[in-house]
């Protein structure tokens, strides 16, 4: 039995549900983790002796970030595409094909090394739970390979064979959908928890996305969807109808989309790194929160539309550009991400939850948005162990 104590916490963000303050902040607190779980929360100085002690010295402590949307298994770089966008080119998603080519040409060792590098980036920036997906293989063996590699680092793996129609199927996209729903799903389902599709003009329409999600559900996968990123469309409503845990992007929403989200239990996952990196309008976060929709904020870390692994950066964007308060943005990046992954063991600092927490080099969580671009992660505890200091 290993016990770890984080003591002398100035501001403890617990996200304990039920109170009036969604962050449920406690002051002058201490937390004890035993065998990877939170075992005790109480006043600073009042905790039992432990094997390991972290002195927070009146800093703020928050739950580890839950990044519920990333694409981390790939090879290559698309910085040229980013530079062209900043010079006025639009983002269309077509660059995905370039990453598919470099990814499929890379050996497993290179993909695993890239993934490990990005995972370290996430950890150093306070992320303790993350989802990641396939989608840069677009073939049966290729997609299964990406998921096998992803499974080595996270249980939150998503099958995204329906990311784009590969060139060889350009004139018969429904044959590609049949491949995705049949042999590709068979090969991928053992390595995935989730099934996803890119429901967007130029990618997959509502019928094709429905076919993929329905086939995945029949194989025991849980649905989520990329929707309404590049324009208005049916994706958000389809996701709600199919009981998706989350619809991701939500950049262009109609009144009917907001009503559907407010009437269901699908989380709206907002990915402001995409709008930053594609110079697009930001999603209507304020409107969603005010309508009572559960919102998550995630990075979408990928080499095309958003090559950031930083949840603090996304929080700063959510506050400055999407009009969330610092408290709301932090909730969306922790408890909101947990809701998007249908997890109740992460995203909070409550007894029995995973002992995943971040000591900030700041007296308050507000500094995450108030001091954008400043590395404020002092110590990361993941499953009760010091993962970064």
Q: Which residues are annotated as a binding site?
A: 69, 71, 78, 136, 163, 226, 229, 300, 302, 304-305
Q: How far apart are CA 147 and CA 195, in angstroms?
A: 12
Q: Which residues contact 253 (CB under 8 A, 6 or more apart)?
A: 228, 232, 236, 283, 284, 287, 288
Least Cα distance to 360 among 383, 389, 333 occurs for 389
Q: Which residues are annotated as a binding site for N-formimidoyl-L-glutamate?
A: 136, 302, 304
Query: Could you tell me the smallest distance in angstroms from the CB atom of residue 341 to ligand NIG?
Result: 16
Helix, strand, or coil here: 377?
strand
* Structure tokens that stand for 102 in this block: 């470099």
Output the smallest distance, CB 307 to Fe ion, in A: 12
State the Cα–Cα distance between residues 317 and 237, nearest whole angstrom: 26
Tell me the number of residues near ligand NIG by CB under 6 A.
14
> What does each C-alpha distance from 210 to 192, 238, 247 come to in angstroms?
18, 7, 13
Check residue 11 for interaction with Fe ion (CB under 5 A).
Answer: no
Does residue 224 interact with ligand NIG by CB under 6 A? no
Smallest distance from ligand NIG to CB 378, Å: 31
Alpha helices in the chain (DSSP H): 79-86, 96-105, 108-124, 140-151, 173-179, 185-188, 206-218, 235-241, 255-263, 272-278, 285-290, 311-320, 326-333, 335-340, 367-370
CB-CB contact of 149 with 175 (8 Å): no
Interaction of residue 272 with ligand NIG, rule CB under 6 A: no
Q: Which residues are annotated as a binding site for 4-imidazolone-5-propanoate?
A: 78, 136, 163, 229, 305
**Of 300 and 328, which has the nearer Cβ to Fe ion?**
300
- Shortest Å distance, C-beta 361 to ligand NIG: 31
Q: How far apart are CA 366 and CA 329, in angstroms?
A: 10
Q: How far is CA 12 from the centre of its chain?
A: 23
Cα–Cα distance between 71 and 103 in angstroms, integer?
12
- Token digits for 87? 């010079």
Interacting residue with ligand NIG among 70, 119, 305, 308 (CB under 6 A): 305
274 binds ligand NIG (CB under 6 A): yes
Q: Which is closer to Fe ion, CB of 16 or CB of 200?
A: 200
CB-nearest residue to Fe ion: 300
Rounded CA separation 132/112 (Å): 13
- Name which of ligand NIG, Fe ion, none residue 99 binds, using a CB cut-off of 5 to 8 Å depending on partner kind: ligand NIG
Please report how the helices 140-151 and 108-124 are oriented relative to each other, as an axis angle in degrees rounded to 10: 40
Is residue 200 involved in binding Fe ion (CB under 5 A)? no
Q: What is the largest CA-CA distance in the chain?
A: 68
CA distances from 197 to 185, 225, 294 (A): 12, 5, 21
The site map against ligand NIG for 67-106 (x = CB under 6 A) is: ----x---------------------x-xx--x-------
Binding residues for Zn(2+): 69, 71, 226, 300
Q: Pick one of 300, 313, 340, 369: the residue that binds Fe ion (CB under 5 A).
A: 300
Write each residue from 191 to 220 as x if it is in contact with ligand NIG (CB under 6 A), else as -, in one continuous string: -------x----------------------
Nearer to ligand NIG, 72 or 242 (CB): 72
Confirm or reject binding of residue 196 to Fe ion (CB under 5 A): no
Scanning 177-185, 300-308, 338-346, 352-360 for contacts with Fe ion by CB under 5 A, the matching segment is: 300-308
As measured in angstroms, the least distance from the Cβ of 156 to Fe ion is 14
**Residues annotated within a binding site for Fe(3+):** 69, 71, 226, 300
Q: Provide the binding-site residues for ligand NIG, judged by CB under 6 A.
A: 71, 93, 95-96, 99, 198, 226, 229, 274, 300, 302-305
List residues near Fe ion by CB under 5 A: 300
């Amino acid at each position: 039995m290993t016990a770890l104590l984080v003591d002398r916490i100035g501001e403890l963000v617990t996200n304990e549900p039920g109170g009036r303050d969604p962050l449920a902040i406690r002051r002058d607190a201490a937390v004890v983790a035993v065998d990877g779980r939170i075992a005790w929360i109480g006043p600073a100085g009042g905790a039992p002796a432990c094997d390991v002690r972290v002195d927070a010295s009146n800093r703020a402590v928050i739950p580890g970030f839950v990044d519920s949307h990333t694409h981390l298994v790939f090879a290559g770089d698309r910085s040229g595409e980013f530079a062209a966008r900043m010079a006025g080119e639009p983002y269309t998603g077509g660059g995905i094909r370039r990453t598919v080519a470099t990814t499929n040409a890379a050996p497993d060792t290179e993909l695993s090394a890239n993934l490990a590098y990005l995972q370290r980036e996430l950890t150093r920036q306070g992320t303790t739970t993350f989802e990641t997906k396939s989608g840069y293989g677009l073939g049966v063996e290729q997609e299964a390979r990406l998921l096998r590699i992803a499974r080595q680092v996270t249980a939150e793996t998503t099958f995204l064979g329906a990311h784009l129609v590969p060139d060889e199927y350009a004139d018969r996209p429904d044959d590609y959908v049949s491949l995705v729903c049949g042999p590709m799903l068979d090969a991928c389902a053992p390595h995935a928890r989730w099934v996803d599709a890119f429901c967007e003009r130029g990618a997959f329409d509502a019928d094709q996305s429905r076919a993929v999600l329905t086939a995945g559900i029949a194989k025991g996968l849980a649905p989520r969807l990329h929707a309404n990123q590049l324009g208005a469309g049916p994706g958000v409503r389809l996701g709600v109808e199919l009981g998706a845990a989350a619809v991701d992007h939500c950049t262009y929403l109609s009144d009917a989309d907001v009503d559907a989200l407010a009437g269901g239990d699908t989380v709206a996952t907002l990915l402001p790194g995409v709008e930053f990196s594609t110079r697009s309008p930001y999603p209507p976060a304020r409107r969603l929160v005010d309508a009572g929709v559960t919102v998550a904020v995630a990075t979408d870390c990928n080499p095309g539309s958003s090559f950031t692994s930083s949840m603090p950066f996304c929080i700063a964007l959510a506050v400055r550009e999407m009009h969330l308060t610092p408290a709301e943005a932090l909730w969306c990046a922790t408890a909101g991400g947990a809701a998007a992954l249908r997890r109740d063991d992460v995203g909070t600092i409550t007894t029995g939850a995973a002992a995943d927490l971040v000591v900030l080099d700041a007296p308050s969580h507000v500094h995450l948005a108030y001091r954008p671009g400043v590395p404020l992660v002092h110590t990361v505890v993941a499953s009760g162990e010091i993962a970064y200091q």
